[in-house]
Amino acid sequence: MSHNLDTAIVQKANEWLQDPIDKDSQAKVQQMLSNEPEELTESFYKDLDFGTGGMRGIMGVGTNRVNKYTLGLATQGLSNYLHQQLGDEAIKVAIAFDSRNNSQALASSVAEVFSANGIKVFLFENLRPTPELSFTIRHLGCQAGIVLTASHNPKEYNGYKVYWQDGGQLVPPHDKAIIEEVRKVKLNEVKFNGNDDFIEEIGRDVDRAYLQQVARISLGNEGKDDIKVVFTPLHGTSVVLMEDAFNTAGFSSISLVKEQSNPDGNFPTVDSPNPEEAAALKMAVDQAERDNADLVIGCDPDTDRVGIAVRDHKGQMRLLNGNQTGAVVFEYMLSKMAEKGVDLSKSFTATTIVTSNLMEQISLNYGVESMRCLTGFKWIAELIHRYEGTKKFIVGAEESYGYMIGDFVRDKDAISGALMIAEAAAYAKSQGSSFFEYLADIQKKYGFYQEHLISIVKKGRSGAEEIAAIMENLRSNPPQTLASKKVVELRDFKLGEITDLHTGEKRPTNLPSSNVIQLVNENGDITTARPSGTEPKIKFYFSVNREWKSGDYDEMEKSLREIIQQMIEDLAI
């Protein structure tokens, strides 16, 4: 054994050489102790964090990995908390899982721990989309829900996402309180021996109830017979329900990318199953070019994100970002509702602090209140819960390709999002236009908004330290100019303060604390820095907008991209 190994790490690893750790896992730990010091360090240098939304990490043995034991600790802590909160009340939880390697086995293990704690479990019979889990919690009257997924992360990852009884992910006060309970649990206290009497499989009945709700979001049928859609599930869960949803909604021409339609946790046709990345949608775009399709739709493995490509003003397939797609969805929905005479006076839309201001402008144009929240749809769900009965939620969006249509799902939903996107595209085509021209008209009306995202990967212990240093430097030593314009405002969401850098005056953000920094220059251009909550990354978001006075779409886009490039160079990232 290497003398360089940290003694605390060795001690933690030795604890995994005894019960209740299974023999195969013990053998892997022994192998790392003998021959793999770097892997041992990464696997044991810390405990995998149970964060405010749950857990996500690389699969494997060790305290810093996703496995039966780390998820068992989390589930025992959550079980303890549910019993504390609900006393003698009969407790029910729903569990779903995606197409990742080990997801089904981990879901079964989690179900066993809940059942051993006397908690009724509704376990999906097979893989299902994450938004269906959110729906199921309220549909079956559960107090909590779990989905085993790592969303769009690489194949090595898996995760454990926790939902509360409103169908939204955990928010205060429950998030911090559950973290405290999880930290108290010792491995020998986890009840791994399940009780089958408390586990019930669910499936098609819930699918039908969910799809009935999805069908109700439609605002019109114009052009649905005429639009051609290519759809890829990227080896994920959307293949279970998406075609049914499209058929029920009246679309007649939906073709699958067959090579990507088999659920497979190795994601064999892509490097990353992330519809935010052009490479992930390449097969679908190529098929759309061959078939002369109007629209490409691709979902991530757990079906909460949707990426699209549409024909642009030159007839070429062009990928749109989450902000551009969201703007069309907002304009289509609100204009249709206004046209139908729907009273929008007590309604609201919601976006996050890193999402384009364009959607706020669209909402205000229709007299609809626009609310802002921290990154993550759990905060949009929290707004819905807070205003339930007094204000009606219409639509929410996040720049990272997430959309929530109505409130029957309390998380981003790629199935209802995809249907509304396709409906807007069909409507535009029926009017002699297209989805892309619809977007261009919006930008002429409200201003041309251009956004850009850079993600910088910093893996492991040293990466986490680097990310912390970058954030601290921006906080204490912000750049004086961005794109040749003075930085006039520093928004520190961790401290909850917005500072006028000219006068020094401060005002509150009025949002919960989050490790996010925003810099605003004289032109109103916004740069945001935010460490990812689920991946070893720091993300930089750039947003600029200008009035569209002259030039074509490409010229306008190019001029704003040049401004963003200046901002990137000024940050030296």
Task: Give the whole-angstrom CA distance, residue 428 versus residue 227.
Answer: 10
Read off the pLDDT of residues 475-502 as tens digits, 9 standing for 90 and up.
999 999 999 999 999 999 999 999 999 9
Burial 117-136 (b: 16+ CB within 10 A, else e): bebbbbbbeebbbbbbbbbb
Q: Is the pLDDT of residue 3 over 70?
A: no
Instruction: State mean pLDDT over 298-311.
Output: 97
- The torsion angles phi and psi of 84, rounded to 5 degrees, stand at -60, -45
- Average pLDDT of the chain is 95
- One-letter amino acid at 120 equals K
Task: Give the whole-angstrom CA distance, residue 152 versus residue 234.
Answer: 10
Task: Taking each helix axis as running N to C, give the angle between helix 358-365 and helix 322-339, from 0 to 180 degrees, rounded to the nearest 10.
Answer: 0
By the 8 A CB rule, do 297 and 243 touch?
no
Read off the pLDDT of residues 124-160 as tens digits, 9 standing for 90 and up.
999 999 999 999 999 999 999 999 999 888 899 999 9
Reported as type and span, the H/E element at residue 326 is helix 322-339
Read off the pLDDT of residues 211-234 as tens digits, 9 standing for 90 and up.
999 999 999 999 999 999 999 999
By the 8 A CB rule, do 552 and 527 touch?
no
Least confident of 332-336, 416-420, 509-513: 509-513
Q: Which one of 25, 151, 400, 434 is the catalytic residue?
A: 151
Which residues have a Cβ under 8 Å from the Cβ of 419 and sit 6 or more positions away?
A: 214, 217, 218, 245, 246, 249, 405
Share of the chain above pLDDT 90, in %: 92
With DSSP H G I counted as helix, E B as strand and the rest as coil, what are the percentages for the chain, rounded to 5? 40, 20, 35
- One-letter amino acid at 108 equals S
Q: Is the pLDDT of residue 317 over 90?
A: yes
Q: Is the pLDDT of residue 235 over 60?
A: yes
Read off the pLDDT of residues 500-551 as tens digits, 9 standing for 90 and up.
999 999 999 999 999 999 999 999 999 999 998 767 889 999 999 999 988 8
Structural tokens at position 372: 């802002």
Distances (CA, A) of 171 to 76, 163, 165, 177, 220: 19, 9, 11, 10, 35
Read off the pLDDT of residues 79-97 as tens digits, 9 standing for 90 and up.
999 999 998 889 999 999 9
- Count Cβ atoms below 10 Å from residue 21 Cβ, excluding itself: 18
- The count of C-alpha atoms lying within 13 angstroms of the C-alpha of 144, restricted to the half-sphere facing its C-beta, is 27
Q: Is 25 a catalytic residue?
A: no
How much is the pLDDT for 2? 44
Task: Give the whole-angstrom CA distance, residue 252 versus residue 241.
Answer: 16
Report the first-to-last Cα separation within the chain, whole angstroms.
39
Structural tokens at position 512: 């919960």
Structural tokens at position 165: 């009884």
Which of 68, 166, 149, 59 lies closest to 113, judged by CA? Answer: 68
Task: Give the whole-angstrom CA distance, residue 479 versus residue 219.
Answer: 47
Burial 320-332 (b: 16+ CB within 10 A, else e): bbbbbbbbbbbbb
Instruction: State mean pLDDT over 544-563.
Output: 92
- One-letter amino acid at 147 equals V
Instruction: State mean pLDDT over 176-186.
Output: 94
Reported as type and span, the H/E element at residue 76 is helix 68-86
4 burial level (CB within 10 Å; 0-12, 13-18, 19+): exposed
Reported as type and span, the H/E element at residue 306 is strand 306-311
The owner of tokens 């030593």 is 477
Count, residues in the chain:
573
How much is the pLDDT for 549? 82
DSSP three-state, residue 279: helix
Q: Give yes or no for a cis peptide into 20 (omega within 30° of 0).
A: yes
* Domains by residue range for the chain, with CATH: 46-202 (3.40.120.10), 212-446 (3.40.120.10), 449-571 (3.30.310.50)
Task: Give the whole-angstrom CA distance, residue 569 versus residue 166.
Answer: 44
